[in-house]
Amino acid sequence: MATASKRVHMGDRTLTLKAVPFFTQLSDRELDVVRSVSVEKSYPRSAVVLTEGEMGDSLYMIQTGKVKVFIGDEDGREIILKILGPGDFFGEMSMIDKQPRSASVTTLEASTFHILSHAAFANCIEQAPRIANFVMRVLAQRVREADRKIGTLALMDVYGRVASTLLELAVYNNGVLMVGEKLSQQDLANMVGASREMVNRILKDLSDRGFITVESKSITIINRELPPTL
């Protein structure tokens, strides 16, 4: 009885929270804790959410939308570290160590976040300690991924970097392996540390050789055995 009335009390907000993978791992009580300490905020497409080097102590959980995490230089060149979507979070590093933001984050599409301040997060894990385990697991995965990326950047030529990034981004959609991210060729170039022209040439070559098909909003992988070099 108590549980049922609690669900009614939490209403639509709980239902939307439940749709996100992170939240589906939490019980109703844990969800109630997150709900009570987070602030919901929406951003339009191409909005700056975090800026590298600035101070900040909030963690952002993505409810809907997509963001890119990147580092840049004064000439406007950027390297995209990661694309994040619903169920992912960012901003945890400064929240944990109170150092400036390690990277910038902008929205790739209209997005809604649940934002937790350092104090709110501390409150959250005091009441629902499993949330801390989850954050630690994600941090470990990110280090693994960063290690893989260092290996790719150091050991592969641009051709191999494009091929491995396409495979990393691709997901099965109705049995078809495709990169459905709304990524421009410039974004892809910024992920592999190459020029847009070079990426364009490599995509054309992979397409001419029958490994992929390139459409305006997606790239389909026809043969997973993408060649690591020309």
Q: Which of 31, 34, 49, 50 binds ligand CMP (CB under 6 A)?
A: 50
203 is a site residue for ligand CMP (CB under 6 A): no
The single-letter code of the amino acid at 155 is L
68 is a site residue for ligand CMP (CB under 6 A): no
82 is a site residue for ligand CMP (CB under 6 A): yes
**Closer CB to ligand CMP, 69 or 212, in the complex:** 69
Backbone angles phi, psi at 102, to 5 degrees: -80, -15
Using the rule CB under 6 A, give the single segment among 4-12, 25-33, 34-42, 98-106 that binds ligand CMP: 98-106
Q: What is the end-to-end Cα distance of the chain in Å, rounded?
A: 65
Closest listed residue to residue 163, CA positions, set 212, 215, 214: 212
Binding mask 151-180 for ligand CMP (x = CB under 6 A): ------------------------------
CA distance 207 to 211: 6
**Closer CB to ligand CMP, 93 or 125, in the complex:** 93
Helix H or strand E segment including 220: strand 219-221
Using the rule CB under 6 A, give the single segment among 90-98, 107-115, 129-137, 158-166 that binds ligand CMP: 90-98
81 by DSSP, 3-state: which?
Answer: strand
Using the rule CB under 6 A, give the single segment among 96-104, 106-114, 119-127, 179-187 that binds ligand CMP: 96-104
190 is a site residue for ligand CMP (CB under 6 A): no
CA distance 148 to 133: 23
102 by DSSP, 3-state: which?
Answer: coil
CB of 38 to ligand CMP, least distance (A): 16
The CB-side HSE value for 15 (13 A sphere, CA atoms) comes to 4
- Identify whether the C-beta of residue 213 lies closer than 8 Å to the C-beta of residue 219: yes
Q: Which of 38, 94, 164, 165 binds ligand CMP (CB under 6 A)?
A: 94
Strands, sheet with 78-84, edge to edge from the N-terminal-most edge strand: 48-50, 104-107, 67-72, 78-84
Chain residues binding ligand CMP by CB under 6 A are 50, 69, 81-82, 90-94, 101-103, 105, 142, 146
